[in-house]
Amino acid sequence: MILIKAGLACNFRCKYCYQREIRPEENVIDLEAVKNTVRNLYSQTKSQIVLHGGEPLFLGKDLVEEFLKLSYDLSGRSSVQTNGYLIDQDFIEIFKKYKTSVGLSIDGPWPCNELRGIGSREDRKKQTEKILENLDLLLEEKIPTSIIVVLHKSNAINDRLEILKKWLISLSERGVTGRLNPCCSGIEGIDLTPAELINAYDQILDLFLKRGISGWSPFRDIIAALRGDPNVVCVFRECDPFHTPAATTVLGDGGVGVCVRLYGENFYLRSPVKTDLRSRILQQTDCKGCEFWNYCYGGCPGMAIDWDWRRKDRWCPVYKFLFKRLRNILKFVGPRRSVSQPRREKSSIEHLDGSLRHLDSDLSKSHSDGIEHLDGNFRHLDSDLI
């Protein structure tokens, strides 16, 4: 992914923002340098381009249009990750023009979203309501929209978790999915403990299973990883902290940086070469012998224990819990049918197996155990048909 992070200024001051130490008051952008770098990177990688920030819509409509047009001209589409507060009808028209998918960052209805925004508690409540109105607008206008929810102590424990769960159901009923990411601010009163995060994910997963809701990460990504699908979130893709292959950032002066998750007070430019140094260290230390290594690879270096990329991700106990739980569900479901084993069209004929009446089995091979069957009006022993 090519992340245009030309401007890191933001209209909000969210309390857990991982860019808080590098956030400028104003953006200083060398537009031509940024555009040239994006063109070069795209010609090499053909990766998806996402307009990021700071708050990208805080760049102003002209610059936003400039970057979305660049992305559209190169790739035929565009994406933006926004806090959603500044969305208005003009932005909607820009999104339509450049086939923009919108990622909206919001942690639930009030008070679940209380850590996001700027100003007094009352101000942030109004901002939350405005963002929810803008979400409605996006959906009414049929702009492809997904949600990033950050889980923390204000939305994922006790009664707040109940509010969040109801909201996730209502989003899912409207066809919206997204990500449920753990907050990793390093602030004790904000970040969940591993036990709290396990409880939140466990409850949400129970709810989704009960309601038949799919598509939300991390569950979707963990299932994909367990099934060997390469299309999983960067956290489970062997991230090299000097190259961060899943997140190449383009800075305001046209420089190419690693994922901003790794920035503390400093910026780090990206090495052009990917190494497996972190993996080799972890396989001999923190992750030695882990049964989930081939699905997890030690998680995100930006969330490493002690902020030390040589250590595993601090959410390791949570990942282990989810890998185990979802692996058991996959075992329960059984292997997926391959294309060479099509479903038998005959399978809807009613059968009587001894005293047990049922529809035709959809076993891939015939079953010929000699039990008398009733196929419609036709009574017979188990057939040998495939």
Using alpha carbons, select from 9, 43, 1 the residue that is nearest to residue 29.
9
Q: Which of 68, 226, 304, 316 binds ligand SF4 (CB under 6 A)?
A: 316
| Least distance CB 230 / ligand SF4 (angstroms) | 15
| Least distance CB 43 / ligand SF4 (angstroms) | 21
Nearer to ligand SF4, 312 or 351 (CB): 312
Nearer to ligand SF4, 7 or 298 (CB): 298
Q: Which of 116, 124, 278, 312 binds ligand SF4 (CB under 6 A)?
A: 312
Using alpha carbons, select from 328, 362, 332, 326 the residue that is nearest to residue 344.
362
* Interaction between residue 130 and ligand SF4 (CB under 6 A): no
* Interaction between residue 268 and ligand SF4 (CB under 6 A): no
- Please give the C-alpha separations between residue 98 and each of 38, 95, 101, 102, 339, in angstroms, as whole numbers: 17, 5, 9, 12, 37
* Interaction between residue 304 and ligand SF4 (CB under 6 A): no
Q: Which of 98, 167, 292, 321 binds ligand SF4 (CB under 6 A)?
A: 292
Tokens (6 digits) for 17: 């923002």
| Least distance CB 284 / ligand SF4 (angstroms) | 12
Residue 51 CA to residue 31 CA, distance in Å, equals 14
Q: Where are the beta strands (DSSP E) in 245-298?
A: 248-251, 256-257
Site string for ligand SF4, 218-237 (x = CB under 6 A): ----------------xx--
Q: What are the φ/ψ torsions at residue 268 (nearest 5 degrees)?
A: -125, 125
- Please give the C-alpha separations between residue 10 and each of 6, 34, 52, 253, in angstroms, as whole numbers: 12, 19, 11, 18
Q: Which of 300, 304, 322, 326 binds ligand SF4 (CB under 6 A)?
A: 300
Q: Which of 55, 65, 196, 313 binds ligand SF4 (CB under 6 A)?
A: 313
Residue 19 CA to residue 29 CA, distance in Å, equals 18
| Least distance CB 243 / ligand SF4 (angstroms) | 9
Q: Which long-range contacts (CB under 8 A, 24 or more apart) does 338-345 make?
A: 344/386
Exposure string over 348-384, b if 16+ CB within 10 A, otherwise e: eeebeeeeeeeebbeeeeeeeeeeebeeeeeeeebee
* Interaction between residue 326 and ligand SF4 (CB under 6 A): no
| Least distance CB 255 / ligand SF4 (angstroms) | 17
The distance from CA 28 to its chain's CA centroid, rounded to whole angstroms, is 30
Q: Which of 184, 226, 287, 322 binds ligand SF4 (CB under 6 A)?
A: 287
Q: Which residues bind ligand SF4 (CB under 6 A)?
A: 234-235, 239, 244, 246-247, 259, 261-262, 286-287, 290, 292-293, 296, 298-302, 312-313, 316, 319-320
